[in-house]
Structure 1
Amino acid sequence: MKSLLQIFTWWNGQTIGTRFHTWRFGTRVGSDDAGNVYYQGGKDSEGRTRRWVIYNGYADASAIPPGWHGWIHHRTDVSPADESYKPREWQKPHQPNGTGSAQAYRPPGSISGTGERPRVTGDYDAWTPRS
C-alpha cells in the first residue's frame, strides 16, 4: 500500500523520481526526531552539493527542525547529525500549518473571524442621495 501511495501521491513520502535520484546519487546524512531522512549527493545548478529530505508521511516543509533547515539551505556545512546541535530558547517546536482548519488564524473583523473590525480613519462611507 505504501508503494502505491508513493507512486500516485507526490505529497506523501517520496516520488518515483526522488526514489531513483536517492538510490543513484544519495548519501544518507541523518534523520530528525520526526523521522524525516536527509540526503546529499550530486551537484545543483550553482555547483553546490545537492541536499534533500524525504519526509516521514505528509510532505510539510515547515516540519524541518531549525538545525536541519540551516543545513539543507546551505547556511552551514555541518549537519546536526555531525554536531551536538541544541535549539535556542526562542525556537519553538513545530506546529502544523492551520490554513483551512479550525486552528487557522482569523484576525478580528475577517469574514470567518469573530467580532467586528475596529473603524479607522479613511474607512469608506457609502454615498446616499441628499446627504
Structure 2
Amino acid sequence: MMKFLTRFFTWWNGQTLNTQFYTWRKGERVGEDEFGNIYYQGGKDAEGRTRRWVIYNGYSEASSIPAGWHGWMHHRTETPPSKEEYTPREWQKPHRQNMTGTAGAYRPHGSMYNPESRPVVTGDYDAWTPGD
C-alpha cells in the first residue's frame, strides 16, 4: 500500500502511475544505462518527433543520465547508445552524477566545509587598502 501511495503522490520516486500507464500503452523499451535507468520511446510530441523518456532507478535526478543517453533523449542523435558499439577513449572519465548538496560534494582547500586546516598565511602579501 505504501508503494502505491508513493507512486500516486510523488513524481521523484521512479515513475508515477500515469507514466507507468503511458509506458505500458505506447512505450517501446530502447535500452538501459549503467545506473539502471531505463529509456523508452513512443508516440509523438508537439513538434511531431518521437517522444522519448526515462524511468529513473531511484530518485528522479537528471544528472544521473550519462552523456550518450542525454544526447539521444534530446534528439541530438537518432541512434541510442545501446545500439552502437562505442568504446570510451583512455582519457575519458566515467560519468558521475552531480553531487552538490551531498556528502560527496567537492570541497576545495580553504573551504569552510573542508575538514583540512587552511594554509597558514606567510605574510608575503600586502592587502590593498583604499587611499594607498
How does the TM-score come out when normalised to structure 1? Answer: 0.73
Residues 64, 98 of structure 2: 8 Å contact kept: no
> How far off is 1:76 after superposition?
1.0
User: In 1, Cα distance between the equivalents of 2:37 and 2:110?
Assistant: 39
Shift of 1:51: 0.5
Shift of 1:11: 0.9
Matches within 5 A, 1:87-126: 87-107=88-108, 112=113, 115=118
Further displaced range: 14-23 or 88-97 = 88-97
Counterpart CA distance in 2 for 1:101 and 1:32 is: 23
Aligned partner of 1:94: which letter?
H
Distance in 2 between the 1:14 and 1:109 partners? 41
Q: CA deviation at 1:112?
A: 4.3
Alignment of 1:42-121 (within 5 A): 42-107=43-108, 112=113, 115=118
TM-score (structure 2 length as normaliser):
0.72
Question: Secondary structure at the residue paired with 1:100?
Answer: coil
Q: For 2:89 and 2:53, how far apart are their aligned partners in 1?
A: 24
Q: Does the aligned pair in 2 maintain the 1:67–1:85 contact within 8 Å?
A: no
Gaps in structure 2 of 5+ consecutive residues: 122-126
Q: Secondary structure at the match of 1:28?
A: strand
AA matched with 2:44 = K
Q: Give the equivalent residue in structure 1 for 2:41.
A: 40
Aligned length: 126
Structure 1, gaps ≥5 residues long: 127-131
Q: How far apart are the structure 2 equivalents of 1:59 and 1:124?
A: 48
Distance in 1 (alpha carbons) for counterparts of 2:46 and 2:129: 54
